[in-house]
Amino acid sequence: MYWDFSAGGHVDVNEKSDDAAKREVYEELGTSGQLILVSKKHFEYPAWDSSIFRKVDASIYKMLHNGPFIVDPKEVERVEFFSLPTIQKMINVGEKLHPGLV
């Protein structure tokens, strides 16, 4: 198991990033709400194989929601919340995190 963002995925052909974000949140967390764009950025990160670099245009959104979350077991094992300092500690000790999250 690897920890990852709360919801993430790709933008389908002819789909707007806002619509893709809404779709991914619903597919993975079974919920919807108002999404607020935080940033759009192009970046590269090492894939599972550190000799391969992924190039992505990423849109980061935030959404406030108190649950309940209804996860799709094919997509998500469980939902947990971590503070940014806790995530940094997880990175420092080598916790299994998706390369895009790191």
What residue spans define the domains of the chain? Answer: 17-92
Which of the four CATH numbers 3.30.70.260, 3.90.79.10, 3.20.20.105, 3.40.50.720 does domain 17-92 have? 3.90.79.10
Task: Name the H helices within the chain.
Answer: 17-29, 84-92
Mean pLDDT of all residues in 57-76: 84
Mean pLDDT of all residues in 42-55: 80
pLDDT, tens digit, for every residue of 68-102? 888 888 878 888 888 889 989 988 998 888 766 66
Average pLDDT, the chain: 84
Distance CA 55, CA 12 (A): 17
